[in-house]
Amino acid sequence: MSVELIKDLLKIDQTVGKDQIEALVEGEIRLPENKPNINKILTIDGDVEIAESRIVKDKVIVEGEVKFKVLYNAIDEQQPIHSLEASTDFREEIGINGITEEMSAEIKSNIEHIDFKLIDDSRISVKTVLDIKGEVQSDNSLNIVKEVTGAQGLQVLKEKIKYNDVIGTNKSSTIVKEAFELNEDMPDILDILRVDVKAFERETKVVDDKVIVAGVIEASIMYFGDDEDNQINYLSHEIPFTHFVEIPGTVKDMQCCLKLQADDSYYDTKEDINGDIRIIDIESMVKINAKIYEQKEKEVTVDTYSTSKKINVTKQEVDITENIDYREIKEEVKGTIELSGNDTIRNVYNLNAKPIITDYRVIEGKVIIEGILDVDVLYQSNVNTEIASINDEIPFKSYFDFEEINEGIMLEIENALDSIGYNKLGDKQIEVEAVVKNAISINRIKKFNIVTEAEELEEDIDKKSRSSIIIYVVQKNDTLWDIAKRYNSTVEEIVESNEIACPDNIMPGEKIIIEKNIEFEL
């Protein structure tokens, strides 16, 4: 009977290449005509928005904009604090050899540093350093041989491949909005100075053909009020939402990788029933990127031979990224920020933080992550009642146990701020309490020489002329399969003849007896 191959299709997302660049984005912010001139800049921060990424040969072209939020002290006796928003476009290229247009790119970017200088009372020069990471993937479908049958004395060697079977991905968005009224103890609104909107996941469920995402958008609002003793006011408000992301083929309790981003946020103020400006109307678009996958194992044929017939075997070398483990773990981060000198805090107006990984390593089955929480605090000083800011770093260290950690693994770690709050401790200290979500993926690239074709030849294997017993001295990197194949025997026969207790652990210099077994056709 001739050799018969039973084939299967292995579909994987293969990382073709990735790289990281630092980009300098320079621009100029000009005051609109309806804003008073600048006396002093208090703070400038911003966000990065990627508008488009496309692949041309050997590079990824990334286009986007940096959106700035400026808070400044104005030449205005009635309202000393004003704000404005501006943006600067950018276009950058990430070189990655071997990538082509039909592949897909995932871009991640954040602001490393913003440097600014007041040109005159209506213009600001801004230089922004961006960290841009690009990863390119190819949707590979490999024809693999999962079984070989038919030939007499046929021996088949298989290996297991552990991989993520991507069921589907989808990008969806939902509009989250709500109008809410100020608490009674807060003054009426004269001017909204700043609104920061962030989206947080609270619960995610995978059901048939969809992902149910429950979350909140948190709006941090600073406004100028009509109370002379309490002009600058700050409040935080959460708006819950639930959204369905359609992904055909998903089944309950499959694994989900989720990313949320609040974008295109708008706000307006309205009168209450008494005609006072005390209602804030918030609207934001939450963009949701969901990927559903299953961890699977498949056996692939990596070698085959026959003890009686010669077989012509064709192989193909492939590199497969095996996903060993993936976890999302939340870590509490606490620290205290303290003012130096004579300055003291009257009111805290705004608190922003960004987690940054500084180092990670693997020691004895543990993943150790070290990082800092980069915190910006906007506050009113008791010394001169002016708005001031302080930046500080809160270090953190996280430990995670993983069972299958060994040499040759690659760690991919992403973190994001899940929540943040603070407590004012006296007039010089702020205690920051945050939760950082760490997404940890453990991978390894494994090389396989997989069998793609096998053809039985007419030529028989001549065992009659071979010695009845061969004593073979095990060489470095030898396996029982290699030895059995070389002498047209089988692993089972060698194990039985030598009473080998552990077939996967033969040592160089060990002597192996190979007996001649002749097969007779009936």
Q: Is residue 489 helix, strand or coil?
A: coil
Residue 276: per-residue pLDDT: 95
Using CA atoms, how far apart are residues 308 and 122, in angstroms rounded to an integer?
89
Residue 403: per-residue pLDDT: 66
Using CA atoms, how far apart are residues 259 and 440, in angstroms rounded to an integer?
14
Residue 299: per-residue pLDDT: 86
Using CA atoms, how far apart are residues 181 and 235, in angstroms rounded to an integer?
11
- The secondary element (H helix, E strand) that includes residue 113 is strand 104-120
Residue 408: per-residue pLDDT: 65
Nearest Cα residue to 16 out of 450, 445, 442, 451: 445
Q: How do the domains of the chain map onto residue ranges? A: 17-137, 155-305, 326-445, 463-515
Residue 465: per-residue pLDDT: 66
Tokens of 430: 């702020």
Give the ranges where 388-515 is alpha helix by DSSP (H).
480-486, 491-498
Tokens of 110: 């954040």
What Å distances lie between residue 3 and 112, 142, 150, 454, CA to CA? 60, 21, 5, 7
Using CA atoms, how far apart are residues 404 and 285, in angstroms rounded to an integer?
40
What Å distances lie between residue 490 and 146, 302, 464, 514, 517, CA to CA? 20, 16, 17, 10, 10
Residue 480: per-residue pLDDT: 92
Nearest Cα residue to 155 out of 501, 479, 510: 479
Nearest Cα residue to 436 out of 364, 370, 376, 365: 370
Residue 481: per-residue pLDDT: 93
Using CA atoms, how far apart are residues 516 and 245, in angstroms rounded to an integer?
64
Q: What's the CATH superfamily of 463-515?
A: LysM domain (3.10.350.10)
- Exposure string of 238-262, with b = 16+ CB inside 10 Å and e = fewer, is ebebebebebeebeeebebbbbbeb
Residue 501: per-residue pLDDT: 85
Tokens of 472: 């073979």
**DSSP character string of 329-357:** EEEEEEEEEE--TT--EEEEEEEEEEEEE
Mean pLDDT of successive 10-residue segments in the chain (522 residues)?
79 80 95 90 88 92 94 81 92 93 88 92 95 86 81 86 82 95 93 89 93 93 86 89 95 87 90 95 94 85 88 84 77 91 84 87 82 88 78 89 68 83 89 89 81 84 74 90 90 89 86 74 43
Regarding beta strands 366-381 and 345-363, do their DSSP bridges make them parallel or antiparallel, or are they unpaired?
Answer: antiparallel
Nearest Cα residue to 112 out of 374, 351, 414, 335: 374
List, in order, residues 6 or more apart from 497 with CB less than 8 Å away.
513, 514, 515
Q: Which amino acid makes up residue 425?
A: L
Using CA atoms, how far apart are residues 452 and 301, in angstroms rounded to an integer?
9
Q: Is the pTM of this model over 0.85?
A: no
